[in-house]
Structure 1
Amino acid sequence: MVEDEAVIGCTGELLIGTRGSAGPGEILVRIRGGSETFLAWSTEPLPMGAAVLVIESRGCREVDVIKWADPLEALGGDPADAG
């Protein structure tokens, strides 16, 4: 198994929702100067369009994800105002 450690810690959007233990979804991640898709596994079902954080690589373009909320958005801030 070849793990892709570069993707760990990246955030992305689910193109296809995950089904928990019933099966993976698909995530679009900005990485390596472009965008790539990976099969995404989660412990609980997550809907299409959900923001997620990659927490582990399973190798072969498969990752484990958790639901993600941007800290600035959670505080009611606009990410555009951060710089």
Structure 2
Amino acid sequence: MSTSDLSPVGLIGHLTVATQGDDGPGEAVFRIRGGTEAFIARSPEPLRRGQQVVCTGEIGPRTVEVAPWGERLDSLLRL
């Protein structure tokens, strides 16, 4: 197993629990290490449950930073 298999950074997942921005974390699920794992997810702005996200960083062993994924691309495809 390579070190890239151990880190969720750069992976696309989705929120199973909405994030509240500065008011609290949510939960994100990613496919990693041959399975699916849940992580505590933090984001600067609130994100809705079901939102597709990309992991942008690790805060701790089971806590990650996430950002929205897909909305900007979807809007470009409508042009």
- TM range, normalised to the smaller chain? 0.7 to 0.9
Counterparts of 2:49 and 2:20 in 1: how far apart (Å)? 10
Aligned pairs for 1:18-37 within 5 A:
18-37=19-38
Give, in whole Å, the separation in 1 of the partners of 2:56 and 2:26: 15
In structure 1, the partner of 2:51 is 50
TM-score, structure 2 as length reference: 0.82
> How much does 1:42 deviate?
0.2
Distance between the aligned counterparts of 2:24 and 2:51, measured in 1?
16
Q: Could you say what the CA RMSD is over the residues aligned between the two structures, in angstroms? A: 1.8
Amino acid at match of 2:9: I
Which aligned segments of 4 or more residues in structure 1 are displaced greater than 3 angstroms? none
Unaligned runs of 5+ in 2: 1-5
Structure 1 unaligned residues grouped into runs of 5+: 77-83
Task: Give, in whole Å, the separation in 2 of the partners of 1:18 and 1:46.
Answer: 5
Q: Could you list the per-position Cα deviations for residues 13-36 of structure 1 after superposition, in whole angstroms to 9, with x for gaps in the alignment? A: 100000000000000100111000
TM-score (norm 1): 0.78
Cα deviation, residue 70, structure 1: 7.5
- Cα distance in structure 2, aligned partners of 1:68 and 1:6: 18
Could you tell me the percent identity over the aligned residues?
41
